Amino acid sequence: MWNHDNNESDPLMSQLLEDTTLNTCQINRQRLNITKSKWRKDRKKPLGGGISGKVYKGYADGGFFFAVKEIRIENKGEIDKIKQEVKLLCQFSHPNIVKYYGTEEDESKVNIFLELVSTGSLRKVYKSFELEESQVSHYTKQILEGLKYLHERKVVHRDIKCANILWEKGYVKITDFGLTKVTGLIALLKSRYGKIDWIAPEVMKQDKEYGFEADIWSLGCTVVEMLIRDFPYSHFKELHAKSTDPLKDFKADLELEVQKGSILHYLPKYSLHDYPLALDFIERCLKLNPNERPTADTLLEHEFVRDKFVKDSGC
């Protein structure tokens, strides 16, 4: 969690903590503003989208802006699951996770109301700007803080990647947590392998038992993504371009890469000699055996994300 004592001298962090307290106090009013009044959705300019639905900017009476994730589902049972899941997620409040405000059912779709983070995702950031290692450290620490909070509340994200990490004014927030399990994990696994670059091996195998360790694997892939500004296993795409079963080949190659310990060789700009902290952190996350991966709490003690390294970043 955030250490208030260590952040008193940081005006940006102090403001963030004040905003968090304010938002926590106002959350019931905000949910009421959306669900009990007329609200509008800007369909002309979607904010984004993915396997779980498109995201739009919304506006409610009283001048309250928010994000709307629109999910189309025919199965009534699935709609009920989503509504129940969001009801629980509305109780969560942390500086590094996007707030949920509620849902509204509309025929064969569900509108999920979320905190608006207008700048965009980390993927959008690194596509425009090259991130220094110190910046990657800064963002990784915040992602870990958010994951720790979710894991303490028994929530597995299942889809950690830069596209699901929103960025604003140097701070990041995890979004889309708690929804993948009810909006298409199987569909995600059956999609083209380019969409599963971050998913842990045990999840790809569709093992019945997998947990928080899967998010740690995905975090390692996300750190790689920030450093190389591309999908973690983008080099596989050309190899499997003519494959009759690219997903199967991807899984096989992934396991081989991890067993050989050669995934770190695909960081062309970085080497163990020049950036040992970042690469050691990644290597700890990318353990084939999930039981060998550290927890989010343990990783927060790693030198790569310790306060001194992060403060030196100037972020």
Cα 129 to Cα 37, 110, 135, 226: the distances in Å are: 40, 35, 11, 10
**Alpha carbon distance 303, 148 (integer Å):** 17
For residue 69, list its beta bridge partners: 55, 112
Question: Is 159 an active-site residue?
Answer: yes
Collect all residues with Cβ–Cβ distance below 8 Å to 21 and sequence separation of at least 6.
none
| 69 labeled binding residue | yes
Compute the distance between CA of residue 218 and CA of residue 158 in angstroms, rounded to an integer. 8
Identity at 209, one-letter amino acid code: E
Residue environment code for 187-220, b if the CB has 16+ CB neighbours within 10 A, otherwise e = ebbeeebebbbbbbbbbbeeeeebebbbbbbbbb
Is the Cα dihedral 101, 146, 225, 238 positive or negative? negative
Task: Report the distance separating Cα 112 and Cα 141, nearest Å.
Answer: 28
Angle between helices 212-228 and 276-285 (to 10 degrees): 150
Q: Which of 19, 61, 106, 159 is catalytic?
A: 159
- Looking at the annotation, which residues are catalytic? 159
Report the binding-site residues for ATP.
69
Report the binding-site residues.
69
